[in-house]
Structure 1
Amino acid sequence: MNNMTEPCTFVIFGATGDLARGKLLPALYHLDAAGRLHPGTRILTTGRRHPDRDAWLSETRADLSGTVRGGLQQEVFTRFADRVDYMQGDLRQADFYKQLQARLADRQGFPADTAFYMALGASDYAGVIENLDRVALLEEQLGWRRVVIEKPFGNDLQSAAILQQKLSNHLREEQIYRIDHYLGKETVRNILVFRFGNVLMEPLWNRDTIDHIQIIHAEPQGIGKRGATYDASGALRDMIQSHLLQLLTFVAMESPVSMAAEALHAEKLKVLKSIRPIPADRIGDYAVRGQYDAGKVGPDDVIAYRDEGRVAADSHTETFAALKLHIDNWRWAGVPFLLRTGKRMTAKQAMVAICFKQPPQQFFRSSHIRCDASNWLLIGIQPNECLRLEMTVKAPGEALATRQTALDAAFRKADETVNDAYEELLLDIVRGDRSLFLSYEEVTQAWQIIDPVLKAWSKPGEDLHLYPAGSWGPRAADRLFDSACQSWRHTLGACGCGMEKL
């Protein structure tokens, strides 16, 4: 066994939804296949669509056959199926929770330590937790009780505060696991190790040498079947308020005293509190929104966002968002942090791109040489997990000419598998490790940063920029740069001067 956890019970609400079917159950299957789940661990799934366990398990088998690494293994699935049960019921009916309480009371079948996973719409969180408390399923006399909540935690600062108040009536903060699956990615965790496990970069990791930092998540996919939910959310809420701001804290934070949750949360919170508020009367100088129009992604013609299913024909919901933020502290004063995310972009690319300042030119002043290309440190998150350092070197030959070269390092060896982010986070829940889960203070501080933008964008206007599907987004995003020689970095690949234009 490898890092096996203690036995516990996972209760998954919404087990017939996309999150459970596409992420949670495959992650639990992979953990079982790797021998990382205790033999006594049980999984109780709930849903309304299937009448019994056999019907649910048949669909689950079909789902896993198309999603698990290396194809479904009969021996592993048999073992996995033996630890899984299913319970049909309506989460809005009080009798369902009485039946759930009776089912979990069987200590021969279900360990006392229990994690309740809310694979549900955010509007259902408070009601489910209140009903669990009514039947004493959140009491911890016999074992721990932990509740896992997916993003978004609220839709703005006010709704987040209301949700927190409702949860705190039934749970202690230590019982709440606000999950951000982005933080479970190996490369994101590697940012902490790269920064604090190596002395090499620390003298350079500040305003003296860094020109600006870009944090980017682009994807060629559209919204799929999420029309109704996405149209009520948008890119700013969906990606920047959670994933990209969390990445920013990893890049910008000071070294915590330890990897304990409290120490890590404290340093991340300091960064968020140091971000300069965006002036309400200057939103356009710090934020750009866009929406994809019809276009071509690869070989495929794709429709405009407003033509997607369950999207309003006059929707002003952004599918692209870019922000410029400043961190007003000693390390980062004057260094712009540029966050950008978009759907229906040219290609899938998530990365942190750190652009260093250009060197003084006095060494070359008596020659024709100019070193206009900046050094870049690129941390690829997906689809390529790697580290790339771009530098200026002399080109071969007698003439004194320069060119760009790069040092590339992969974060994993060729024979090492890529684990899904949910796998480690699910184990962290069992271990009681909250270090990569969000504290309420982090959530509220993140909402405070983007609330002025949300309020400005809630009013339909001409500031919504259409961009063709298959592009890198609206050209209006270029205005966020302070200098004409700066521009967005799109890919990890070499590109002459190290920079690319929209």
Structure 2
Amino acid sequence: MTLQQPPQALPCHFVIFGATGDLAALKLLPALYRLDVGGHLPAGMSIIALGRRPWSEADWLQHLEESIRRRTGEQFNARVYRRFAARFAYVAGDLHDPAIYQTLSDRLCADQSCAHAAFYLSLKPSDFGEVIQRLEQAGLNRPRGLHRIVVEKPFGEDIDSARQLNRLLHDAFDEEQIYRIDHYLGKETVQNLLVFRFANTLIEPLWNRNYIDHVQISVAEQAGVSTRADYYDKAGALRDMLQNHLLQLLTLVAMEPPPALEADALRDEKVKVLRSIRPIEDQVINAHAFRAQYGPGSIDGVPVPGYQDEAGVAPHSIAETFVAAKFYVDNWRWRGVPFYLRTGKRLAQQLSLVAIRFRHPPQQLFRETPLEFIEPNWVLLSLQPSESMHIELHSKQPGLGMDTRIIRLDASYRRGREKTLEAYETLLLDIMEGDRSLFLRFDEVEWAWRVVDPILRHWTRQRDFIHTYPAGSWGPLEADRLFDKLEQSWRNQL
């Protein structure tokens, strides 16, 4: 998503810390390959992969090819892959060892034509601070203002640690060099939400408390913790998903039109939304937030273990794998409209959905007909498994009676064989081009932590019990207690 940005030099080197990890194999390497297929990578750009595994260059290239083939399938292009693989150099070593940073410095300095680099920290959040400090100690942040550094979410584990991490970053880099990434902002449907709202006079006049009953934002995953138990058991669903992905979606749904389509103007409006979210007092936390953990069950008919039985999970862990929360945005547009956010692992299906439910018509015109109760209208924005937008309306069924059926207006922006652009492709290209529009400014991060910190502190004091739900379900029934009205319920499908 290219907004109005001043031209900047493209990096000659792209450095991936944690290149042998899952994120790199599943997302970063395939995205870089697809950018190369499309001719978007600078011709002379090298990619330096740093990892702990004691691999040779041949071992790394085998891993690279397997990762690319697994994610591209029949679209694998051997000619482009050879060009892509030739960009790589592999550096093995421990991130805590200063020698690896000296090796990296030597490799960058060996290129006399360009030393401009982008450092991507595809690491556990607990490693961010040390890597940033060691980059500075090795002089890899100099000259100041030249390089770029990309930090994955979550940015900190609470508001205090987020501020500390931000100070470390600013000690070594300028704000214009820092890219705090949230890959949900790179999804085309998320970007299309801005167009859907602000380019259509049909929609924007209805987008307020006068017409909208409530908003639901759901991100459901069928997968369990897999190999991420070491991280996930310390983070939980609130830190891993709600504080970043879901709150970012909330800001895009609720924000005012920015005065211009520029990076800071867009982020200013998002911060205003976060600042307007009503603080949750400690005594009412349980009425606004609910957590649970998946137990044994089945996914698509295949038995799966409960969270407590997953490899790497601490005994008697109370890390939440499901969280639901209710927020109010106390501004002129949204006062009194609840925003229900929900995310969880081992749920019934893979689903990322923004569902906006409209109010009932003010007049009971059909009370003496079969339409005594009319289902409300919905606007549905699907991010997964399909990228689409739908509006649900009522239409009379053919015949003598006054019966209706729901008709769906499909506002999908993809036609025919138009290809899906992966979120990381968009974001990696933006990093290279110096476009920070889809990346987080620190005040966004800080205000998001302010929103969830009361919930975190409350749950920290409750260490002896957590609700459970069977894997393969839609989560615990107790989450329904968040709804303001009996007629409100979770929207689980398009």
Identify the match of residue 94 of structure 1 among 91, 94, 98.
98
Name the residue aligned to 1:64.
68
Name the residue aligned to 2:137.
134
Shift of 1:462: 7.3
Is the 2:296–2:471 contact (alpha carbons within 8 Å) kept by the matching residues of 1? Answer: yes
Is the 1:11–1:114 contact (alpha carbons within 8 Å) kept by the matching residues of 2? Answer: yes
Structure 1 residues 338 and 48: alpha-carbon distance in aligned structure 2, compared to 1, 3 A threshold: same
Q: Say whether 1:245 aligns with 2:274.
A: no
Distance, in Å, in 2 between the alignment partners of 1:154 and 1:204 is 37
Is the 2:396–2:404 contact (alpha carbons within 8 Å) kept by the matching residues of 1? Answer: yes
Structure 1 residues 460 and 77: alpha-carbon distance in aligned structure 2, compared to 1, 3 A threshold: same
Structure 1 residues 425 and 397: alpha-carbon distance in aligned structure 2, compared to 1, 3 A threshold: same
Is the 1:295–1:469 contact (alpha carbons within 8 Å) kept by the matching residues of 2? Answer: yes
Question: Residue 79 of structure 2: SS of its match in structure 1?
Answer: helix
Distance, in Å, in 2 between the alignment partners of 1:222 and 1:5 is 41
Distance, in Å, in 1 between the alignment partners of 2:193 and 2:423 is 15
Q: Say whether 1:407 aligns with 2:405.
A: no
Shift of 1:164: 1.3
Name the residue aligned to 1:421.
423
Is the 1:236–1:318 contact (alpha carbons within 8 Å) kept by the matching residues of 2? Answer: yes
Shift of 1:95: 2.5
Shift of 1:46: 1.2
Question: Residue 172 of structure 2: SS of its match in structure 1?
Answer: coil
Is the 1:324–1:339 contact (alpha carbons within 8 Å) kept by the matching residues of 2? Answer: yes
Name the residue aligned to 2:486.
484
**Equivalent runs, 1:309-348 vs 2, <5 Å:** 309-348=311-350
Distance, in Å, in 2 between the alignment partners of 1:336 and 1:129 is 40
Name the residue aligned to 1:11.
15
**Equivalent runs, 1:68-467 vs 2, <5 Å:** 68=72, 70-107=74-111, 111-140=114-143, 144-460=146-462, 464-467=466-469
Q: Normalised by the size of structure 2, how large is the TM-score?
A: 0.95
Report the residue type matching 1:81 in the other structure. A
Distance, in Å, in 2 between the alignment partners of 1:394 and 1:22 is 47
Distance, in Å, in 2 between the alignment partners of 1:239 and 1:21 is 21
Structure 1 residues 5 and 384: alpha-carbon distance in aligned structure 2, compared to 1, 3 A threshold: farther
Distance, in Å, in 1 between the alignment partners of 2:465 and 2:214 is 25
Bigger mean CA deviation after superposition, 67-76 or 215-224: 67-76
Name the residue aligned to 2:3.
none
Report the residue type matching 2:356 in the other structure. I
Is the 1:45–1:87 contact (alpha carbons within 8 Å) kept by the matching residues of 2? Answer: yes
Is the 2:124–2:231 contact (alpha carbons within 8 Å) kept by the matching residues of 1? Answer: no
Question: Residue 345 of structure 1: SS of its match in structure 2?
Answer: coil
Which consecutive residues of structure 2, in runs of 5 or more, have no partner in the other structure?
Answer: 1-7
Distance, in Å, in 2 between the alignment partners of 1:367 and 1:299 is 43
Could you give the per-residue CA deviations for residues 439-458 of structure 1, whole angstroms, max 9, x where no partner exists? 11111111111111111112
Question: Residue 380 of structure 1: SS of its match in structure 2?
Answer: strand
Could you give the per-residue CA deviations for residues 419-462 of structure 1, whole angstroms, max 9, x where no partner exists? 21111100111111111111111111111111111111123367
Distance, in Å, in 2 between the alignment partners of 1:318 and 1:93 is 34
Is the 2:293–2:322 contact (alpha carbons within 8 Å) kept by the matching residues of 1? Answer: yes
Shift of 1:366: 4.8
Question: Residue 68 of structure 1: SS of its match in structure 2?
Answer: helix
Is the 1:8–1:430 contact (alpha carbons within 8 Å) kept by the matching residues of 2? Answer: no
Is the 1:11–1:115 contact (alpha carbons within 8 Å) kept by the matching residues of 2? Answer: yes
Structure 1 residues 119 and 370: alpha-carbon distance in aligned structure 2, compared to 1, 3 A threshold: same
Shift of 1:264: 1.0
Shift of 1:69: 5.2
Report the residue type matching 1:30 in the other structure. R
Could you give the per-residue CA deviations for residues 298-325 of structure 1, whole angstroms, max 9, x where no partner exists? 1111111111111123111111100000
Distance, in Å, in 2 between the alignment partners of 1:310 and 1:91 is 22
Shift of 1:368: 4.7
Is the 1:180–1:243 contact (alpha carbons within 8 Å) kept by the matching residues of 2? Answer: yes
Is the 2:10–2:116 contact (alpha carbons within 8 Å) kept by the matching residues of 1? Answer: no
Bigger mean CA deviation after superposition, 159-168 or 184-193: 159-168
Give the CA RMSD over aligned residues. 1.9
Q: Say whether 1:49 aligns with 2:68.
A: no
Distance, in Å, in 1 between the alignment partners of 2:233 and 2:114 is 41
Distance, in Å, in 2 between the alignment partners of 1:167 and 1:353 is 37
Distance, in Å, in 2 between the alignment partners of 1:484 and 1:29 is 50
Distance, in Å, in 1 between the alignment partners of 2:358 and 2:351 is 21
Structure 1 residues 62 and 398: alpha-carbon distance in aligned structure 2, compared to 1, 3 A threshold: same
Is the 1:395–1:403 contact (alpha carbons within 8 Å) kept by the matching residues of 2? Answer: yes
Shift of 1:90: 2.4
Structure 1 residues 93 and 276: alpha-carbon distance in aligned structure 2, compared to 1, 3 A threshold: same
Question: Residue 228 of structure 1: SS of its match in structure 2?
Answer: helix
Which consecutive residues of structure 1, in runs of 5 or more, have no partner in the other structure?
Answer: 493-502
Is the 1:42–1:111 contact (alpha carbons within 8 Å) kept by the matching residues of 2? Answer: no
Report the residue type matching 1:426 in the other structure. L
Could you give the per-residue CA deviations for residues 303-360 of structure 1, whole angstroms, max 9, x where no partner exists? 1111111112311111110000000000000100000001111111101000000112
Bigger mean CA deviation after superposition, 356-365 or 327-336: 356-365
Name the residue aligned to 1:500.
none
Is the 1:361–1:371 contact (alpha carbons within 8 Å) kept by the matching residues of 2? Answer: no
Q: Normalised by the size of structure 1, how large is the TM-score?
A: 0.94
Is the 1:295–1:468 contact (alpha carbons within 8 Å) kept by the matching residues of 2? Answer: yes
Distance, in Å, in 1 between the alignment partners of 2:368 and 2:49 is 73
Question: Residue 234 of structure 1: SS of its match in structure 2?
Answer: helix
Shift of 1:7: 5.4
Is the 2:274–2:444 contact (alpha carbons within 8 Å) kept by the matching residues of 1? Answer: yes
Question: Residue 412 of structure 1: SS of its match in structure 2?
Answer: coil
Q: Which has the higher contact order (CA 8 A, sep 6+)?
A: 2
Structure 1 residues 70 and 107: alpha-carbon distance in aligned structure 2, compared to 1, 3 A threshold: same
Shift of 1:91: 2.1
Bigger mean CA deviation after superposition, 480-489 or 80-89: 80-89
Distance, in Å, in 1 between the alignment partners of 2:114 and 2:297 is 53
Is the 1:276–1:327 contact (alpha carbons within 8 Å) kept by the matching residues of 2? Answer: yes
How many residues matched?
489
Shift of 1:63: 1.8
Q: Say whether 1:24 aligns with 2:24.
A: no
